[in-house]
Amino acid sequence: MITPTNSVSGTAPASSADQVSSPNGTLGKDDFLKLLATQMQYQDPLNPMDNTQFLAQMAQFSSLEQMTNISSGIDTLNASTRFQEAIQMIGHKLGYVRSDGSEGTGVATAVSVGDSGVMIAVGDDEVSPEDVTSVADAPASASTAAAPAVPAVPADPTSGGNG
């Protein structure tokens, strides 16, 4: 750890803010704020940060925060779109590839969202929409066949239509 030799020189001690990084190696808005706060804390009081530099850094932070919010909104929109697309497959015959590489077919009966993302229930299988290879109308079965039409009850001619 580096210790300052002169507190007026602007030399900052090594701190956790000096070693800030996200798990994926990129800096986020929290990291930016920590760095800015550390910079402000250890600036030379006789030679403070230029106002234009400070404003530029604040503008960068604002832009970073807006991009983060947009990215989050796009992720939410993508998840919603995948869910809506999967719902439209319910009742259709799907061809799909299982996780072991074998192929399967069946009628989609339900859609769920969990830790694995959007999953479509096809028989005993849970299928990711990315694994669907074909979609077709489900064959008509006894349970989905159209019911015979019920004849309309003729109106009673003696009631005059008033009830």
- Alpha helices by DSSP H, the chain: 29-41, 51-87
Question: pLDDT class for 65, splitting at 50, 70, 90?
Answer: confident
Predicted local confidence at residue 90, as pLDDT: 93
**How far is it, in rounded angstroms, from Cα 154 to Cα 47?**
97
Question: pLDDT class for 61, splitting at 50, 70, 90?
Answer: confident
Q: Where in the chain are the domains?
A: 16-82, 89-137
Question: Which is more confident, 93 or 13?
Answer: 93
Q: Please name the fold of domain 89-137.
A: SH3 type barrels. (2.30.30)
Average the pLDDT over each of 1-5, 86-90, 140-144 and give the range with the smallest value.
Answer: 1-5
Predicted local confidence at residue 162, as pLDDT: 54
Predicted local confidence at residue 126, as pLDDT: 92
Predicted local confidence at residue 21, as pLDDT: 46
Q: Phi, psi (5° rounding) for residue 22?
A: -80, 165
pLDDT of residue 18 exceeding 80: no
Taking all residues of the chain, what is their mean pLDDT, rounded to a whole number?
Answer: 75
Distance of CA 73 to the CA centre of its chain: 8
3-state secondary structure of 79: helix
Quick: pLDDT tens for 108-151: 999 999 888 899 999 999 999 999 999 998 777 644 444 455 55
pLDDT of residue 77 exceeding 90: yes
pLDDT of residue 15 exceeding 80: no
Percentage of the chain lying above the pLDDT 70 cut: 67
Predicted local confidence at residue 104, as pLDDT: 93
Give one word for 56, left, alpha or beta, with left for phi > 0 and alpha for psi -120 to 50.
Answer: alpha
Upper half-sphere CA count for residue 49 (Cβ side, 13 Å): 16
